[in-house]
Structure 1
Amino acid sequence: MPPKRSITTSGGSTRSSRPSKRYRNAAIGAPSADDAAAASPRLAQAQALAERAGGGASYLAVRPVRHGVRSLRETSLQVAARGLYESVRIARDQPAASPSKGNSNIGWDPERDSGRIEDARHLRTFIQNLPVDVANRLMRLVLDMTTSTSFDDPSDPGVSVMSIAMLFFHPNTTRLSLSGMAAPMLLVSRIPHCTGLTELDLSGHVALRDPILAKVVAQLPTLEIVNLKGCTKIGDQTLVALSMASEDRLRVVNLSLTAVTIKGLTSLLARCKNLEVLKLANVQGLNERNVSKWITDATDAALGWRHAPLSRLRTLKVRSTEFTDASIGRLLSLCAPTLERLDVSYSNLKTLDFISSALHTLPEWKLTKLVASGLPLTPTTLQGFFDPLAERPDEERRRFSTLKLGSLPATSTKAPGLTDAVLAKLMPSLEKLDGLEKVSLFQNWGLGKLEQPLSRFVEVIGRKCTFLDLTLPVESYHLEGLLPPIEDESDPDPSISYEPPRLQTLVLDSSRITDDAAGAISACHDLRSLHLAETRISTRLLSTVLNSCPNLVQLNLTSCRGVPVTQRRTFFEAWAKGEVSPA
């Protein structure tokens, strides 16, 4: 029996707990009215889902991080980057060409920028002679300044595109990220000048077209890592050109939210034998028939290159696709022995039986992460996955570190979702998984209606995690397991040493906690991020937590009526100025 805790509450409550209307009425990732005008509805849905996964990042109150003393190298690079940025920045009295003149390349005017070419050549020579890691870091800093300025001051005319290309697009550049930039096609067309490029990130460029990028990647034979997430117009032409140019050098490719089909994917699997990471989230058309044809064609084509496709794959992501149980079974037949991370959330899977069959029959367990949110899983299929894992050797059990089982739907009496009764059946196996560090059980609204087993879960598993998402009907007493035990002065046991909770991120959105949970949360002294959206807490709890958690830098106080509206996004500043009054 666990020791008594320093906060006492009433016994297990059977009171019905329902999520707020905000969560009951809005489906995960559902497009809002604003999204209807977006260029890509699929991209908007994925961004909404990512926002939920991040706990509502755009609503956070953020405390400025106090960095230590920068190294002389980093300080010098910061100063150099600022100087380079100012040298390529367009003066406000010389605005970029307007769209009415037919020029859509932001920040690029041939008549205006031609005079800067000679100066850029001298700087280019200097940058080319820098060590590769220094030059790459310098370019990243300049591009970050360009991106942040465009967000902070939309009226800023931007930077000279030609100068950016002249300075940084040269054979010594090995890493290039244009993610988040409104990069014009002129800048993208200059990427082949980076003949030694190994990493390319163009994520989020919804206007980038397939034929243009296909010509670019065809001239980059040294690419190893490619991120095209959110490039909704990129399809098979680019993927075929990429696989033909890179072949066995390509290791990581993110094709989430692109327009690729099995034609391009067949070429990828057949030619790229060293592929380690494959992400296909929100890719359409991956139904059972197409996946079967894809695997068959890729396996036959790979015979010409004398290798088995996906034999080195470590990460597979098929989130929000039409993958079925049979489809994932076919794919795992190729990559199960090496697979370490698997995301099948919000797909068409009905069970974990094919996954369990593929992994538990292997002589060695290597899987470290499983994301299976949004699947209609039964208690039987969950036990079929976790029970054999709990019997594995200690070293193999500790490898399994990340588990996400959020929003499991209740579709029938056999598949009731994740409830108190289902979690109670899984607890004996989950308690043996000593390596769990990140656990998410968000939006399982049938969980937490009783005191047990959720209290036991927090005490045995949750306190050992660094990330814990309990967007559930959690009560304050469920968190008592985070508190230190009360020492029995009459019979102390010196062999038992107290270890404080390891939590760094705790998500309690839409929970039923009150200020009574202040002691339990404050026991997490290493807490960095705390999410309390739509809870009944007040400034009293927050003041207690801030006094006990010096590393706390993020707070989500959305719709917390116990906190003044004006302080919800600026709570750290208000607390530092003494403007927060205890409730």
Structure 2
Amino acid sequence: MSSRTPKRQRTGGLPSFGAPSDADAPSAQYNNPSSFASSTRNLATSTTPTLATLCARVFASEFIRLRADEEIWSRISAQLKILPDVLIPKIFAMLQTSCPTYLAHEVIVTHFLRGPSIILHKDLPGVKQRTISDIARFNPGVRELQLINFDDIPDRIFATLIRNLRNLRTLVLRGCAKVGAETMRAVAETSRDLVTLNLNYTSVTPASLAAVVRSCLNLEVLKLAGIQNWTDATISNFYTALPEGFQLPALHTLKLRQTALSDAALSPVLHLCPSLRRLDLSFTLVRRPPQLLAESRIPPLEKLSLTSTVTSPADLVAVVNLLPELRTLALGALGASRGSRASIANTSAMTINDDALHALTMVLEQSVHIENINLVGNAKLGSTSRADGALSEFIAAVGRRCKKLNLAGIHSLRSSDLVGLVPTEASGVSPLETLILNNTGIDDEAGLYLAACPHLRTLAVAGTKMTSEGLFQVIDSCPKLENLDLTSCRGIRVVDRRRFFEVWEEARS
């Protein structure tokens, strides 16, 4: 395989915002590569799987053969019916991965609508509207229910189902676009012990949610991302439906990502959450986070997401100063107008530059708990030509201390900026486990510095100049590495990108 430096990859825009595993915000993704090329390998575990887990794996791998033999399947069916309920969700999850097209509606309702949790995705071919309706008949005591991306099922179907489920603690209806007022009335009537509620990308109105929060005082997690009807004008109906002095004392996680809410509307919401610890305001109209948090009097957050907001550099430093317990900080594409393509493509719209990053680095150096930082898409960063520029300083002082670091879409990032990853007597070995460097200016020189991070598990270098020469030394030195994103890496043959760990093994032999 050639190790010559390829021509610069032309990406035509920014990479997806947020961590690669964040599938929760499809409209927050931009210019995803047309052919995703991720190479993975299964590493030996340090613990021995239980006998039940081993048996479940064998069953999942042999399911198609067993299902094809009527006599054998008759015996298997009888045995499935006497399995403990707690094992059913694990087996069902394995089957969804190994042979989803063989899980017909009849098989699902007969054998797999049991256990403490039920998780169904629209992309599972055997799941129909009647499958969802049958949940209450086969498992009325289910405690965790996740129904994901059923955007064509009407509100009344979900409402009828939930009215017959009285033990729910977790309810996820993410991407069920027609979920609305009728379902919310059902939740308020029958799910008073609810702890987690995910309504991302539904049609729930602020007014219809008010009845739910009044009834579900034990709520700890509430997710409302991507609901278009949550605006400053409509949220007033939420407040007026609540009694004076009402609060959600147990709520510690609130997600309002991709809603059209400004500071004026957000302030009363935060007043309801005296125990809040994790807050996502990405892609909203928030402008003054320090003032907002100070007025709400919530305790110091451990997670704050402000991606694609117009937060100023000064306010950014001020808000981090208010959060001594901070562990996760997401600051992608600051200055972009709620993620609009025109704004993101306009580099001048970005508000965080090298001077701002320098000031932020000084504050984060004092943050002893920080472990996850996302700076994706801040295209002004790295504009200085000094060897000790802001990016290099940030990585050496803060980035190397994180477990997760996302620097994708920072086109001026160079391999030399990663030198701070190399351990010194004072710094020790970096704990980095996930490092995202997609669409940056790194090349094979980066391999030397990445190889100094032995705890790496996930490395994304899509659209960079890295070749097998640089990546081989990373794999040689990082025994825990199991995920490599090599999409659009021109220095790697297309046929090798999905099997790069095998290519490395072949090169060693």
**2:451 alignment partner AA:** S
Instruction: Say yes or no: does 1:373 pair with 2:307.
Output: yes
Q: CA offsets, 1:189-226, max 9 Å, x none?
A: 11113122110011122232211111110011110100
* 1:329-384 Cα deviation digits (max 9, x unpaired): 1101111x20011001011222214433236x45x53x111110001111221122
Report the 3-state secondary structure (helix = DSSP H, G, I; strand = E; otherwise coil) of the residue aligned with 1:321.
coil
Q: What is the aligned partner in structure 2 of residue 477 from structure 1?
A: 416
SS state at 1:577 partner:
helix
Which residue identity is paired with 2:368? D
Structure-to-structure mapping, 1:390-409, within 5 angstroms:
397=324, 399-409=325-335
Q: Structure 1 residue 65 and structure 2 residue 7: aligned?
A: no
Q: Which structure 2 residues correspond to residues 76-155 of structure 1 after superposition, within 5 A?
A: 76-79=55-58, 89=67, 122-123=78-79, 126-127=82-83, 130=84, 135-146=85-96, 148-150=98-100
How far 1:80 sits from its partner (Å)? Answer: 5.3
Instruction: Give the structure 1 partner of residue 341 of structure 2.
Output: none
**Where does structure 2 lack aligned partners over 5 or more consecutive residues?**
1-7, 338-345
Deviations 1:523-551 (A, max 9, x none): 00111111111112222111111111111
Distance 1:317 1:28 in 2: 16
Counterpart of 1:253 in 2: which secondary structure?
A: strand
Q: Which has the higher helix share?
A: 1
Question: Which residue, 205, 212, 215 being the options, matches 2:150?
Answer: 205
SS in 1 for 2:197: strand
Q: Could you say what the CA RMSD is over the residues aligned between the two structures, in angstroms?
A: 3.3
SS of residue in 2 equivalent to 1:200: strand
Establish whether residue 236 from structure 1 lines up as the match of residue 181 from structure 2: yes
Greater CA drift, 410-419 or 288-297: 410-419
Q: Secondary structure at the match of 2:272?
A: helix
Q: Map Cα deviations across residues 142-173 of structure 1 (whole Å, 9 max, x no partner).
A: 353145423xxxxx5x3453343233446xx3
1:282 maps to amino acid: G
The aligned counterpart of 1:299 is 243
Structure having the higher Rg: 1
Distance, in Å, in 2 between the alignment partners of 1:442 and 1:294 is 34
CA shift in 2, pair 1:116/1:278, >3 Å: farther
Distance of 2:63 and 2:490 partners within structure 1: 47
Change beyond 3 A, Cα 1:51–1:401: farther
Task: Normalising by structure 2, report the TM-score.
Answer: 0.85
1:542 is aligned to: 471
- Measured after TM superposition, the shift of residue 23 of structure 1 is 4.5
Q: CA deviation at 1:83?
A: 7.1
Contact 2:361 2:398 in 1 (8 A): no
Pair 1:176–1:86, CA change in 2 (3 A): farther
Closer/same/farther in 2, CA of residues 176 and 514 from structure 1, 3 Å limit: same
Alignment of 1:384-423 (within 5 A): 384-389=318-323, 397=324, 399-409=325-335, 417-423=351-357
Matches within 5 A, 1:3-14: none
CA contact (8 A) 2:17 2:332 kept: no
> Partner letter of residue 430 of structure 1?
L
Give the counterpart letter for 1:476 in structure 2. S
Take 2:39 and 2:59, find their aligned partners in 1: how far apart are those partners? 31
Q: Is the 8 A contact 1:147 1:181 kept in 2?
A: no
Partner-residue secondary structure (3-state), 1:176: strand
**Measured at CA, do residues 137 and 201 of structure 1 come closer, stay the same or move farther in structure 2, by a change above 3 Å?**
same
Instruction: Verify: 1:322 aligned to 2:266, yes or no.
Output: no
The separation in 2 between residues aligned to 1:484 and 1:83, in whole angstroms, is 47
TM-superposed deviation, 1:428: 2.2
Secondary structure of the corresponding residue to residue 316 of structure 2: helix
* 1:226 aligned partner: 171
Are the equivalent residues in 2 in contact too, given 1:368–1:402 (CA < 8 A)?
yes
Secondary structure at the aligned position of 2:118 is classed as: strand
Query: 1:416 deviation in Å?
Result: 5.3
Structure 1 gaps, min length 5: 1-18, 30-42, 95-114, 151-155, 301-306, 390-396, 486-495
Aligned counterpart, 2:390: 453
CA–CA separation in structure 2 for the residues paired with 1:229 and 1:213? 12
* 1:15-56 CA-partner distances (Å, limit 9, x unpaired): xxxx96524378969xxxxxxxxxxxxx99933646989x99
Q: Which moved more, 1:449-458 or 1:319-328?
A: 449-458
Greater relative CO, 1 or 2 (CA 8 Å, sep 6+): 2
Aligned to 1:342: 279
**2:104 pairs with 1:165:** no
Q: 2:43 is matched by which residue type in structure 1?
A: V
Partners of 1:283 and 1:417 lie apart in 2 by: 26
Separation in 2 of the partners of 1:239 and 1:254?
A: 12
The residue that corresponds to 2:4 in the other structure is none
Change in 2 beyond 3 A, CA 1:228/1:558: same
Q: Residues of 2 paired with 1:569 and 1:178: CA distance?
A: 28
- Where does residue 5 of structure 2 map in the other structure? none
Structure 1 residues 121, 332: CA separation in 2 closer, same or farther (over 3 Å shift)?
same
Q: Structure 1's 232 and 117: CA in aligned 2 closer, same or farther, altered over 3 A? A: farther
Partner-residue secondary structure (3-state), 2:229: coil
Please state whether the residue corresponding to 1:515 is helix, strand or coil: coil
Q: What is the identity, as a one-letter code, of the residue corresponding to 2:462?
A: A
TM-score with structure 1 length normalisation?
Answer: 0.75
Comparing 137-146 with 369-378, greater Cα deviation is found at 137-146
Q: State the shift of 1:425 in Å.
A: 2.1
CA contact (8 A) 2:15 2:30 kept: no
What is aligned with 1:513?
442
